[in-house]
Chain A
Amino acid sequence: MTDPYKVLGVSRDAADDDIKKAYRALARKYHPDNYAGSDLADLAGEKMKEINEAYDTIQRERANKGSTGSSQGGYQYNPGGTAGSSYAGSGASAPTLNRIRILINSGRFSEAGILLDSIPAGERGAEWNYLKGCTLLQRGWYHDAQKYFEIACYMDPANAEYQAALQNMRTSAGQYGKTYTNIGGCSTCDLCQGLICADCLCECCGGDLLRCC
């Protein structure tokens, strides 16, 4: 078996907290949500399994040696969390739409897509748009997937499932884009504002930072 410490990228004498930290960082990196709908979900699953096993092995080893480290820090994740795998099934759906849901749940997206396209335009309601969005999301057709989720939400604003699918897309994109939006320099305005705030604080304490104001 591969060295569990090597898998987690920590040394053998690392503290329990460091091991937990390394484990959590890796678990976040290979979290199934990051590979939802991806062709590489199986590879990510294997990687996650390897990390979990390594962490469990280390925890067991240390518990046997009487280490004081906690063994309850395992990373929990919700294996669902994607629009395509969180269907609750609805009794009110037409039989065809239920069949499509089953196909999507079993990963047969192209068959689901063909069935969806066979439904006449006049019969395409909110659920049809939602399911269409799910099949497109899996293909990586994000533009159209978002469009269909938006239509589904517009047609049935009270449906939590449709709202969740749209929100999930937005959150994933937003979190990824955060790296970019978080960077940015300090403009002249930011600098002046900062100085004025610091001056106000100093004046409150009886001092003065900027004599001119």
Chain B
Amino acid sequence: MFGYLRPLTAELRVKEYAYYRAVYCGVCKSMEKNVSPLLSMTLRYDFVLLVMVRMLLSGETGTLRPMRCLANPLHKKTMLADCDALRYTAHTAALLTHYGVLDNIADEHGIKRFAYRILSVPTSSMRKKALRLDPALLPLDETMHADLTALSTLEQSGEMSPDAAAEPFGHLLGIMFAHGLTETNRRIAETVGTAVGRCIYLLDAADDAPKDEVSGAYNPFVMQAKSDGISVIDYLKTHRERIENTVLLSCRSAYHALLLADGCEMHPAWSCIDNLLTLGIPHITKQILDHPGQALSKKDPSLADDSPKS
């Protein structure tokens, strides 16, 4: 995951902001406790949405407790105490991190590839640990592998359509959000996961487009720009509305899907999810499209002060 799914903190109320931070710290703690402290280094804001959606759909409310963390052991911070949604997120993060490293080994060359090879040793053991602790994740692990292979094949074939390129990642996140849930909630979670997965992929592609144009790495927007005979920055400017609408309509489908969940608006996580889908993602999209080529800081300054990783 990439850290694009975050709320617009300026529009959160104080207690909502405190709740969001508590969940963020809870995910970090859960990764550290349930899998490995190394995994907590890979924490991204996106995982917070996964936890909140899983809690909302499973009816878990969670408990906030003051706890110590490795980054600042002298100061206790309010965190979401370990719960099913947190454990699930920590385990799936371990699987996703390992496949991310494998993908980098395939994409990189020279010293970077060697570094990723070394990194794959601990990530592989984290993945194995997650599967040992929760064997029910095996089908999800297989889906992840299949979707990331499909993504890699699409990239190698030079897929022109941004939607087609975003599809495997959307599918992966759909399954990841929905795994283990039943009936209606599973369908809602799958819709939400698929929509935000597509958003993440497209936002990352738009954010990295100028860099990829120079390096020659695959990027659907660079492919489109090449076929139009223009630079990718010009392409992003010309087709800004199309890209913005794609993200907005995806967020809209996720938002309306969640409204179908029983009692969603009563859940403590709802206001953060609402902010994230209606304000946070549109804000990030605007930032990326306003400044194509100036890699967006993946750290939100208002969250970064005592959140060591984004």
A and B from one complex: yes
Interface size class of A (residues with CB under 8 A): 20 to 34
Report whether B187 and A39 are in contact in the complex, using a CB–CB cutoff of 8 Å.
yes
In the assembled complex, the CB of B34 is this many whole angstroms from the nearest CB of chain A, namely 32
B222 within 8 A of A: no
Name the one of A143, A173, A183 contacting B163, with C-beta atoms under 8 angstroms: A143
Interface of A: prevailing SS = helix
Q: B residues engaging A (CB < 8 A)? A: 8, 11, 161-164, 167, 170, 184, 187-188, 190-191, 194-195, 198, 202, 241-246, 248-253, 255-257, 259-260, 278-279, 282-283, 286
Q: Which residues from B are CB-within-8-Å of A142?
A: 163, 245-246, 249-250
A136 within 8 A of B: yes
Report whether B260 and A141 are in contact in the complex, using a CB–CB cutoff of 8 Å.
no
A62 within 8 A of B: no
Q: Which residues from A are CB-within-8-Å of B164?
A: 141, 144
Interface of B: prevailing SS = helix
Report whether B253 and A38 are in contact in the complex, using a CB–CB cutoff of 8 Å.
yes
- Specify the chain A residue showing the minimal Cβ separation from B165: A143
In the assembled complex, the CB of A50 is this many whole angstroms from the nearest CB of chain B, namely 12
Name the one of A140, A150, A180 contacting B194, with C-beta atoms under 8 angstroms: A140
Report whether A146 and B246 are in contact in the complex, using a CB–CB cutoff of 8 Å.
yes
By CB atoms of chain B within 10 A, which of A34, A40, A139, A146 has the most? A40
Report whether B249 and A176 are in contact in the complex, using a CB–CB cutoff of 8 Å.
yes
Q: Which residues from B are CB-within-8-Å of A169?
A: 245, 249
**25 residue pairs A–B, Cβ–Cβ below 8 Å:** A38-B256, A39-B187, A40-B191, A40-B257, A40-B260, A140-B170, A140-B195, A140-B249, A140-B253, A141-B161, A141-B163, A141-B167, A142-B163, A143-B243, A143-B246, A144-B163, A144-B164, A147-B242, A150-B242, A173-B249, A176-B248, A176-B278, A177-B248, A177-B282, A180-B282
Report whether B260 and A173 are in contact in the complex, using a CB–CB cutoff of 8 Å.
no
Q: Which residues from B are CB-within-8-Å of A147?
A: 242
Q: Which residues from A are CB-within-8-Å of B190?
A: 39
Q: Which residues from A are CB-within-8-Å of B161?
A: 141, 143-144
Q: A residues engaging B (CB < 8 A)? A: 29-30, 34-35, 38-40, 43-44, 47, 136, 139-144, 146-147, 150, 169-170, 172-173, 176-177, 179-180, 183
Q: Report Cα–Cα, A173/B286, bound state, in Å.
A: 14
Q: Which residues from A are CB-within-8-Å of B162?
A: 143-144
Q: Report Cα–Cα, A180/B247, bound state, in Å.
A: 13
Name the one of B167, B242, B260 contacting A47, with C-beta atoms under 8 angstroms: B260
In the assembled complex, the CB of B125 is this many whole angstroms from the nearest CB of chain A, namely 37
Report whether B279 and A183 are in contact in the complex, using a CB–CB cutoff of 8 Å.
yes
Q: Which residues from B are CB-within-8-Å of A143?
A: 161-163, 202, 242-243, 245-246
